[in-house]
Amino acid sequence: MTYPLADHTPTRRRRWRWRWLAIVAGALATVVAAVSVGITAAQLGLPWQMGEGDRNHVHEGDAGSQRYQVHLPPQHDATARLPVVMAIHGCAMTGYGWNSMKSTTQFNNLADREGFIVVYPTQLISRNMIACWNSGDPRHQQRDTGEPARLAGVARQVVETYHADPDQVHVAGASSGAGTAVILAATYPDIFATATSVAGGEYGLNQVDPDDPDATPPLYTARQAWAKMGDRARQVPLLVIQGERDEVVPPLVATRLVEQWTTVGDLVDDGLPGRPGAPRRRRSDGADRPVHGGGRCRPVLVPAAGLDHHLGHVFPGRHLGSGGDLAGSAARQQTCRVDSHGTRRRRTDRLLARRAGPQGSRRVRQVSSPPRAGPCAPSPTLITVG
């Protein structure tokens, strides 16, 4: 007696379905892993991208972790207490990976010649999808929390690890990083000696309506910045660099920043805007002492030649990711010519002239408060490049 063969087609179909699902899942996992590796490499760089003197670090603190790279110049040894420049990148950039602040500014070459340490913190896309620093978020405009706390922790760690000069820690930022640099100057004036803003805005810029900026005068945000300084308040020298054709950060934003920071300096003097009193210098022990002579120093124009005469939202000199001529001059301005708190002064006029070339500056204009005589903390200096 014979029996018909059982139909196993449904079972076979289920088996093939599970096999295909396993294959697809494995392929997706491979793609996700590859993308993750690619993102990590883009953000943090690859081992062969590190040059001589480069060191990668992670700072761990109460506010979270912060990845950064340090570049040590040849002058670094166990005894030399070198200055530090923290360079904070803008949106869609990294500190030392793809399209990095490291390659944009070419600070490493400058540091090797001048003798200072460079620090490149990098933002993770897990904290901001386009790698911006969250300078417009009030949660990251405070001391002891968020990005300011992490970056200040990085600065302290670099000073301690590499025996750097705590009185010569400077910060420079571009775009969203410029906003963060200004925030650091307001929240940690005891750590950062000077600040440089390239295409950035004032402390509390998120409160300003672009369609009606006059509704929030710079005095309003200046009082907030002064309040954040607390009992550590002092005049923090500020350099502002702005492209006249910038459509992302309009020149008005930079003009407001200069007005705000000038007012902050007035408030630090005597608590009253527009009435400068006796400026104060920071001592190495963290205390302040009054400086007699009054007023503010004459701002120094940073010369630069060969600039794009239609500069927009790019790093001066060249486009983002390819270096910046004016950035080198700005760094020298900040790291070598800051006298407001008794730091060392280097001979840089020759280097500035060499950087500028034989014809000097053609399309660089300076807007600042009137110069006054006497030893003092410099006024904010605005350089517009058109």
User: What residue ranges do the domains of the chain occupy?
Assistant: 49-385
3-state helix, strand, coil in the chain (%, to 5): 35, 15, 45
CATH of 49-385, one of 3.10.300.10, 3.40.50.980, 3.30.420.10, 3.40.50.1820: 3.40.50.1820
pLDDT of residue 366: 37
**Residue 100 and residue 176: Cα distance in Å, rounded?**
14
pLDDT of residue 203: 97
**Residue 149 and residue 65: Cα distance in Å, rounded?**
10
Q: Which residues pair with 61 in a beta bridge?
A: 64
Torsion of CA 17, 19, 25, 29, to 10 degrees: -170
Phi, psi of 203 (to 5 degrees): -65, 130
Q: pLDDT tens digits, residue range 6-29?
A: 555 667 666 777 777 767 666 665
> Which three-class secondary structure state does DSSP give residue 251?
helix
Task: Find the radius of gyration of the CA atoms of the chain.
Answer: 25
Q: Given phi > 0 = left and psi -120 to 50 = alpha, else beta, which region is 140?
A: alpha
Phi, psi of 107 (to 5 degrees): -65, -30
pLDDT of residue 46: 61
Q: Which residues pair with 71 in a beta bridge?
A: 54, 118
pLDDT of residue 1: 56
pLDDT of residue 294: 36
Q: Which residues of the chain have pLDDT under 70?
A: 1-10, 12-14, 22, 24-48, 275-386
pLDDT of residue 84: 96
Q: In the 8-state DSSP scheme, what is residue 303? A: -
CA distances (Å), origin 121, targets 138, 174, 242, 335, 372:
20, 13, 22, 18, 37
Element (H, E) at 221: helix 218-229
CB 309 within 8 A of CB 79: no
pLDDT of residue 44: 58
pLDDT of residue 272: 87
CB 112 within 8 A of CB 74: yes
